[in-house]
Chains A and B, each alone.
Chain A
Amino acid sequence: MARAVTNQRKAMNTFFAWALGLLIFFPILWTILTSFKTEAQAISDPPIFFFFDWTLENYKAVLERSDYAKFLWNSIFIAGGSTLLGIIIAVPAAWSMAFVPSKRTKDILLWMLSTKMLPAVGVLYPIYLICIELGVLDSRIALVFILMLINLPIIVWMLYTYFKEIPVDILEAARMDGASLRDEIIHVLTPMAIPGIASTVLLNVILAWNEAFWTLNLTAADAAPLTAFIASYSSPEGLFFAKLSAASTMAIAPILIMGWFSQKQLVRGLTFGAVK
């Protein structure tokens, strides 16, 4: 039975929760609103909230910057590529850990997790040097690999926790029917694993899209994604709030939408299955 709640109490809760929610969301809301203002209105005193001349000028201005498309493409390429590669490598690993566990499985999982704890700055120069030696500094390929490696432990963990929930009996039955390992994976496991894989992909794209240590330090003109594009606005000249807002809105919008879909998976993925 649900606890009986008076409407008055419910109204109070609603009021406070909405007030706090809007307060926390306000910086994002303000950025989105400002992106539709003119530069003069963007800095007007007192601030204008809704009653300004809505304009798409800023979006046009940002899109017309010849290089915007390149930054966007780099973000898509790096986030998508590293996720795809990570999934390809992690699915077999997580599969074998979930269905053919051995005494070492737990140790391997924990060890993988421990690689995630390595502070990036501690290995910055070696990675920098390796990239120079291989001639891949400021290339998308290098970032695809690095972000894949950074997030691989999370991908393996998430997939592992999902695969664990698939009933083993079904695999046993398939084996009894003479299914080979390949059949098992393609016809039995994959259909059941798709939802888990999809949420893992979602979370990983978010993490890779927002990664801002390696993308800032290992890219320059060629491979810089949106994180670096936005950072280039940090030394402004003249009026720029509205354009900054438009650029920011475009950089965060796709991820905000994806993020809202992956709330539940986020908890599982970021706590390594410790909170579900």
Chain B
Amino acid sequence: MATQHSRSAACMMMAPAVVLLLGWMLVPLIMTLFFSFKKYLPLRGDSLSDGLEWVGFLNYERFISSGSFWPSVQTTLIIVLSVLIITVTLGVLLALLLDQPMWGQGVVRILVIAPFFVMPTVSALVWKNMFMDPINGILAHLWKFFGAEPVLWLSEASLPSIIIIVSWQWLPFATLILLTAIQSLDSEQLEASEIDGAPKLKRFWHIILPHLSRSITIVILIQTIFVLAVFAEIFVTTGGAFGTKTLTYLIFQRVLDSQNIGLGSAGGVYAIILANIVAIFLMRIVGKNLDA
């Protein structure tokens, strides 16, 4: 049993981490909330020292009623959902394949995981120039090879382009986690079903997929949180043009480009609420796991 002495020592040891994170969370959050109720346009002479005008929920109303709000929500949802569907489906298939006996498994694993370690600005730029460039990109060469007209990826198929880039970055994550989960599946159970003569598809549907369900949920939740916040990929490729303005990017533009802090902060509060809805589900799963 822990003594009183070690208890208080434990509290002391936890204190720096807890205090720092508490400050990191609360201070900016309270400031964002504060600004969201104020008219704050630094470029038009508003400043903190002169005091800011209280405008109630005006910023919240204006952020929602602005012409770019709903399109940005739609763009965000399309990107998140598409990336999830692509990465989870391909991730399950890839994990199943990688779990099979083969030569050079370790090397293939390394090849598949690699994109996850590429910094977002690099992957965005490489895709934008060397693959999606309509004249010199690999995809343009490929299209021409088959006699098709090269696609103007980032202007005419901008949303699919972003989805391709982000999916490429996150497929390794999904695959890696699902592969880890598959490998923990009891092989005796699988063998038993094999001996019973259960067809492959049935085995996948009734044994493997249920076993993976928890890992799939975790992949979905974690990716949702990160993909909701996708930034560099858009910043580098389209700069929010051609219908690729996500909620994150819209808020970024309001705050740093047009310097409308009040409006941007109200948007920030919406983004925080959105992320929290996802986070609650993730925390439940992780919390349950902590008890086990």
Binding site for B on A (CB under 8 A): 1-3, 5, 10, 13-14, 16-18, 20-22, 24-25, 27-28, 30-31, 34, 43, 45-47, 89-90, 92-93, 95-97, 99-100, 102, 106, 108-110, 112-115, 117-130, 149, 152-153, 156, 181, 206, 209-210, 212-213, 216-217, 226-228, 230-231, 233-234, 236, 240-241, 244-245, 248, 251-252, 255-256, 258-260, 263, 266-267, 270-276
Q: Which of B100, B231, B265, B274 contacts A125 (CB 8 A)?
A: B265
Please measure, in the bound complex, the distance between the C-alpha atom of A124 and the C-alpha atom of B276, giving whole angstroms: 17
> Is B64 in the interface zone, CB < 8 Å from A?
no
With A114-B283, A267-B176 given, is the CB distance from A108 to B271 under 8 Å?
no
Query: Which chain B residues border A90 with CB–CB below 8 Å?
Result: 17
Q: Residue on B with the closest CB to A18? A: B108
Please measure, in the bound complex, the distance between the C-alpha atom of A274 and the C-alpha atom of B213, giving whole angstroms: 13
Q: Residue on A with the closest CB to B187? A: A3
In the complex, are the beta carbons of A10 and B119 less than 8 A apart?
no
In the complex, are the beta carbons of B194 and A3 less than 8 A apart?
yes
Query: Can you list 15 A-B contacts (CB < 8 A)?
Result: A3-B194, A18-B108, A20-B94, A92-B14, A97-B10, A121-B255, A123-B31, A123-B32, A124-B268, A125-B32, A152-B21, A212-B119, A228-B121, A245-B130, A251-B119
With A21-B112, A97-B14, A156-B17 given, is the CB distance from A233 to B125 under 8 Å?
yes
Please measure, in the bound complex, the distance between the C-alpha atom of A252 and the C-alpha atom of B228, giving whole angstroms: 24
Please measure, in the bound complex, the distance between the C-alpha atom of A259 and the C-alpha atom of B7, giving whole angstroms: 37
CB distance from B10 to the nearest CB of A (A): 4
User: Shortest 5 CB-CB distances between A and B: which pairs?
Assistant: A96-B10, A92-B13, A123-B28, A122-B268, A259-B117
Please measure, in the bound complex, the distance between the C-alpha atom of A5 and the C-alpha atom of B6, giving whole angstroms: 56
Query: Which chain B residues border A10 with CB–CB below 8 Å?
Result: 100-103
In the complex, are the beta carbons of B102 and A17 less than 8 A apart?
yes
In the complex, are the beta carbons of B110 and A126 less than 8 A apart?
no
In the complex, are the beta carbons of B194 and A212 less than 8 A apart?
no
Q: Which of B180, B251, B261, B291 contacts A122 (CB 8 A)?
A: B251
